[in-house]
Amino acid sequence: MMSFTDLEHEIIGCRKCERLVAFREKVALEKRKSFMDWEYWGKAVPGYGNPNARMMILGLAPAAHGGNRTGRVFTGDKSADFLFKCLHHVGLANQPNSDHRNDGLRLDGYITPAVKCVPPGDKPTAVEKDNCEPFLAEEFNLLKSLKVVLGLGKIGFDSCLKFVRKTHPFKMKDYKFGHGVRYELPNGLTLFGAFHPSPRNVNTGRLSFEMMVHFLEKVKKELE
């Protein structure tokens, strides 16, 4: 059986999607002006966290100058700043910041992107999402104590549904995404949906600190 270490190596070495490989490497070469002194990761980004986690946080993909720079999802960008401030506030992370791979962050859970490489415009194609599905399936299979999945954004939410539907057929339309929704899935997992903590959602007021904290407190109670 594949281990987390085996899976991590397989993900990092993946070059299956030519468009994504070209884009992630282009971003890593050109860099953002404020990060010119960084050696960008520029590869696929695996999930991380507690291998005995009862909660998975499932997002879309690494950010161009976040995970694609640091090598860890939800690390080094504004989405990470917002998310981990909230997670720390409710006691699901040991610190309110996620800056780089060796910053001492510990998460009471496991966090991963549905798509492991940064896509142009944050919009992966259907084929690119399909190519990453086996990696996500392995993560689900390795997390033996998993009880709750938190889908950040519709793609993360739907990716969980698609995994479960392979062994427990159902209609996707019966599980509509929305902030704060909760579903008991036929395989025993509980799926929550939440707006993605993107700068757009936060800056427009669609998602506030108070909204996310209230939501995460509900998720945490599910784990008790």
Strand ranges across the sheet with 190-194: 48-49, 110-113, 55-59, 148-152, 190-194, 182-184
Tens-digit pLDDT string for the chain (224 aa): 789 999 999 999 999 999 999 999 999 999 999 999 999 999 999 999 999 999 999 999 999 999 999 999 999 999 999 999 999 999 999 999 999 999 999 999 999 999 999 999 999 999 999 999 999 999 999 999 999 999 999 999 999 999 999 999 999 999 999 999 999 999 999 999 999 999 999 999 999 999 999 999 999 999 98
The CA distance from 56 to 156, in Å, is 11
**Amino acid (1-letter code) at residue 78:** K
Residues 73/79/84/90 CA torsion (nearest 10 deg): -130
Task: Domain ranges for the chain, please list them.
Answer: 4-223
What does CATH list as the number for 4-223?
3.40.470.10
92's tokens: 């699901």
